[in-house]
Structure 1
Amino acid sequence: MLSLLGAGAAHAFEGGVSPFPVGSTGEYVAGIPPIPGLFVLEQLHYTSSSGLYDNEGNKRPIPFKMGTFSATTRLLAAYPTTVLGARLYSQLVIPAVSLHTEVAGHSERHNGVANITVSPAVLRWNVSEHSYAVAGLDLALSNGSYNPNRPSVSTGYTSIQPVLGFRHTDPNGLDIGVINRLLINRENSTTHYRSGRGYVGEVTAGWNSGPWKMGVVGSYLNQFSDDQQGGNTIHGNRARSFALGPSVAYNAGKFSVSLNYQRGVYATNTTKNNILGVGIAVPLWIMQ
């Protein structure tokens, strides 16, 4: 997460950036294990951009470069109980970010913890032998290294994010998953800026052959309501973006590892990001 305040561009979301790091899920779309225990997913991302884009998708005439490195720890607890016929989970996401920006020759670097996300309840329903659906609620908290006067690695407001997903994974065949997320943003109490509501969709698709999977990953952002500043609506500055790229994953049984790259294809009122991601998933404890 980052803020581009002071970059000289019109806002879409506060600072021009989604309160959810679009494209960060990668291969792990709706990736929920079917057994009780405690699991950890460590994800490393490098994100780069070299432009700010206007409401028509054209690159603004502002010299701009951005690069971020993030290390995100996701802890997932799977409980030996069911609710509404579904297995119950909860999740804690802790992202550490190093952000470097360069705007019109002015360079800054900032490090810190981005917004911590808590998922009090996530439900997983089995649909068939190889398919399941998931639903939950993510709370991206207004914590972290936020400063309204400079580029920051966190936003200054809480975002409530209902999530609904589906995954079909045949160990020797088709593997496809999609996750849908709403962004319902609270007002930033420091700046009195309220970012508009948005939708994020992420997808993974490929083919499993033994322990290997080859495929693609993609991400889409659409802000569907306007921002507000001090109660006044800001029209015509809604953020949209789309990215797509290849992925490869290896499941070793006791752990799994993935590598993916998403190239920014389209953006309006935000940055067009290229994302390189590596993920390692390991069970810390499995309930027998």
Structure 2
Amino acid sequence: MAVPALATEAGVDNIGPGTDGFFMLPLDINSLPDNMVAFNVYYNHYKATKLTISSFGGKVPNVDIESTAVIPRLDYLSPLHVFGGRLAGYIAQPWLKQQVSVFGQSDTREGMGDTTLAPIILWDMGKNLTLGAALEVTVPTGEYSVDRLANTSNNFYTYKPLFSFTWLPTENTELSMKTTYSFNEKNKDTDYTSGQIFHFDYSASYKVTENLMLGLNGYYLKQTTDDKQYGKTVQFNGQDVNDGVRGQVFAIGPALHLTFLEYASAEIRWAREFDVENRPQGDMLWAKVSIPYAF
């Protein structure tokens, strides 16, 4: 039994569920300057003391998983128009600290994580609605070792078609959602392929004052295809892993958004996970500062 594979690859993903909350897309796109950038810094903390793996018959005992991340992200909005929308793009490079204790073993690692980049098209549907479509690519640029429980890389490429929107149904309310579908390549060091995953982040908020919004946020993730194990023997040549080790999770919690310096913003969001299968179960905290700049 390969303990590192069970602890890190069963239900693993390159999604970062819950990353996006308030105002996932900018509004009134066509009125924005021809060249515009936004400097974003995300902070994430995740803590889990439960792990459910169906092939083990349920909950795994003595689990303690903790992850901290600081993620700079650069967004760029160009003057180019494609398919009726404005062409944009972004790149994110996380720094991670992972601490894992499970199956009687413990490990810690910190360093640069996997890079995510994407082109995106933004459609201006009026001052109160923006639609977006992108193709996110996660590149395994972090550190990985098959012999370790904690890694700063998942060690495989992921391609994620993405659709998102931000909508103001009234002057004081905001709704945002981002949906993705992940196609994962094989981890070349373990000959293991994690299944495809459907996921969405969501946010619903209300303006309390001119600069302050309160709301709910969270995420949902559902693995739609089985994990597969490859190898030199026939019995491991692309066979489903046990019962497929399909992961799922739903999370919800409160959130706060503050606008300052006219166009800059800061937010903090917390969510608790429920209805979890084949994944750790815990609490997720996200914070974000965003500063736009036109040139």
Does the CA contact (< 8 Å) of 1:171 and 1:208 recur in 2? no
Instruction: Name 1:129's counterpart in structure 2.
Output: 127
* Count of aligned residue pairs for this structure pair: 279
Does the CA contact (< 8 Å) of 2:82 and 2:121 recur in 1? yes
Q: Could you tell me which of 16, 19, 24 is aligned with 1:21?
A: 16
Q: Could you tell me which of 267, 270, 275 is aligned with 2:284?
A: 275
Which structure 2 residues correspond to residues 250-269 of structure 1 after superposition, within 5 A?
250-252=258-260, 253-269=262-278
Residues 229 and 128 (structure 1), Cα distance of their counterparts in 2 relative to 1, 3 Å cut: same
Residues 146 and 128 (structure 1), Cα distance of their counterparts in 2 relative to 1, 3 Å cut: same
Distance 2:140 2:103 in 1: 29
Q: Where in structure 2 are there 5+ consecutive unaligned residues?
A: 231-237
Q: Structure 1 runs of 4+ off > 6 angstroms?
A: none
Which structure 2 residues correspond to residues 237-248 of structure 1 after superposition, within 5 A?
237-248=245-256
User: How many angstroms does 1:241 deviate by?
Assistant: 0.5
Does the CA contact (< 8 Å) of 2:227 and 2:244 recur in 1? no
Which sits farther off after the overlay, 78-87 or 230-239? 230-239
Does the CA contact (< 8 Å) of 1:38 and 1:286 recur in 2? yes
Distance 1:56 1:147 in 2: 24
1:103 aligned onto 2:111: no
Residues 32 and 68 (structure 1), Cα distance of their counterparts in 2 relative to 1, 3 Å cut: farther
Q: TM-score, normalised by structure 1?
A: 0.90
Q: Deviations over 1:231-264 (max 9, x none)?
A: 1122341000111000010111241000110111
**Structure 1 counterpart of 2:50, one-letter code:** G
Instruction: Name 2:147's counterpart in structure 1.
Output: 149
Does the CA contact (< 8 Å) of 1:139 and 1:161 recur in 2? yes
Residues 60 and 98 (structure 1), Cα distance of their counterparts in 2 relative to 1, 3 Å cut: same
Distance 1:228 1:124 in 2: 36
Distance 2:278 2:176 in 1: 28
User: How many angstroms does 1:123 deviate by?
Assistant: 0.5
Distance 2:107 2:278 in 1: 22
Corresponding residue SS for 1:51:
strand
In angstroms, what is the RMSD of aligned CA positions? 2.2
Q: TM-score, normalised by structure 2?
A: 0.88
Corresponding residue SS for 2:52:
coil
Q: Percent of counterpart pairs with the same letter? A: 20
Which sits farther off after the overlay, 256-265 or 202-211? 202-211
Distance 1:28 1:109 in 2: 34
Instruction: Name 2:227's counterpart in structure 1.
Output: 227
